[in-house]
Amino acid sequence: MSQFTASAQRKIHDVLARHVESGRIPGVVALFSKDDETHVETLGTMQHDGGAPMRRDAIFRMASASKPLSISAAMVLLDECRLRLDDPVDRWLPELADRQVLKAFDGPLDETVPARRPVTVRDVLTSSFGLGMDMTSIGTPIMNEVFAQGLTPNLPTPMPDQDEWLRRLGALPLMHQPGDHWQYHIASDLAGVLVSRVTGKTFDEVLRERVFGPLGMKDTGFHVPDEKVDRMPVLYAPDPASGEFQVWDESKGGRWNNPPAFQGGGGGLVSTADDYHAYFKMLLNGGKHRGERILSGQAVQLMTTNRLAPAQNAARTQLATHNVHISFGQGQHGGWGFGMAVRTYRGDYAPVGQFGWDGGAGTSTYADPVNNVVGILLTQVGTSVPNSVHLMHDFWTTLYQAIDE
């Protein structure tokens, strides 16, 4: 018997179509699966002013939805005992030895105290090593310096290669003592540098050999070569005031058409709905794919369950209560594992235990071990406006009703 009735599938189709027909979402690929049954909806076009129809194998810039996937390379190294959770990272990342920590997170950069202890592998994997994008601290001297040093993507100049990036990171004090506070994004990029340093290979090589290759993720990587570039939609960041479509990244000749200097685990991957489905199905399957083990079941448990104590999680709680309007309602997850959000309370239609993450380029990728469901929603509208996030909410709301029918 089908897991999704015809009327349930039609409801999902109709809610997607409503967003595309509004003119605010040029195109969308939505994949949803339960147990062994998978459905894909493709609607709209590759560009906002028409062009080729959207296709199932369209390659999207995953943005921060890169995080739950890129962290898998570090889990491979944990499984092989090439990393230990509470090892100091100094051995591979000497640039981060002997940290200084700001006396006040919003204070002058030269008012610091020594770190209480070294930064550990666990601090990096839980995004609590002491520095990160803090949406509640924009405008502080340290955040200004993070932007000035080009340590995050999305700036006019691309990030430098990993050694130069780490040198610049190492020149800054930490905002918080290692292990004290979850902070967004920078740790995900740092995890990729750590993997590269431990293995002596590029981050991309490790991911390809150990994760993408075994899972058959043939369209996932850090750039889209010329022979596939017609499968990558134009990326838009509409004007927040007028809603007018503005191109953020062209397909041909754009940022993702060439290999980047920095292979960013935080937001650098491109992929397809089917590739991401293979990855999240593997996680739901306890680390196995078609009989082949990619990760240990224990590694999957670690990644996909909450790793944060309430004090560490304060920034996320603040975002979900005081600043949730800024993120268009994203943030009702509660917890964070390694590289991904984990739902620890019922903040919307999804159950406790659902894990995954979204991307600011219009991507949403989650798996749910309670219902054995995966959902992947991909579009090309960045979150400078709420349109793609509203589509995500409506997709998940409708998908969870479809499971019931």
Helices 186-199 + 72-79 axis angle, to 10: 40
174, 115 Cβ separation under 8 angstroms? yes
> In the block, which residue shows the tokens 């009735």?
5
Indicate the burial class of 387 (C-beta count within 10 angstroms; 0-12, 13-18, 19 or more): buried
Give residue-wise pLDDT tens across range 8-35. Answer: 999 999 999 999 999 999 999 999 999 9
Say which DSSP state 289 is in: E
Q: Is the pLDDT of residue 52 over 90?
A: yes
Task: Determine phi and psi for 51, rounding to 5 degrees.
Answer: 80, -165
Give residue-wise pLDDT tens across range 167-214. Answer: 999 999 999 999 999 999 999 999 999 999 999 999 999 999 999 999
344, 332 Cβ separation under 8 angstroms? no
Q: Is the pLDDT of residue 120 over 90?
A: yes
In this predicted structure, what is the pLDDT of residue 329? 80
40, 279 Cβ separation under 8 angstroms? no
Q: Is the pLDDT of residue 315 over 90?
A: no
Distance CA 162, CA 151 (A): 10
3-state secondary structure of 52: strand
CA proximity to 114, closest of 178, 69, 31, 26: 178
The pLDDT confidence band at residue 323, using thresholds 50, 70 and 90, is confident
CA proximity to 66, closest of 382, 380, 360, 335: 360
Q: Which run of H or of E encompasses 341?
A: strand 341-343
Q: Is the pLDDT of residue 322 over 90?
A: no
In this predicted structure, what is the pLDDT of residue 319? 79
Work out the angle at residue 76's Cα, subtended by the Cα atoms of residues 225 and 356, and round it to the nearest 5 degrees: 70
The pLDDT confidence band at residue 50, using thresholds 50, 70 and 90, is confident
Work out the angle at residue 130's Cα, subtended by the Cα atoms of residues 313 and 134, and round it to the nearest 5 degrees: 60
Q: Is the pLDDT of residue 326 over 80?
A: no
Contacts of residue 200, defined as CB under 8 A and 6 or more positions apart, other chains included, come to none
In this predicted structure, what is the pLDDT of residue 327? 81
Contacts of residue 91, defined as CB under 8 A and 6 or more positions apart, other chains included, come to none
Distance CA 42, CA 294 (A): 30
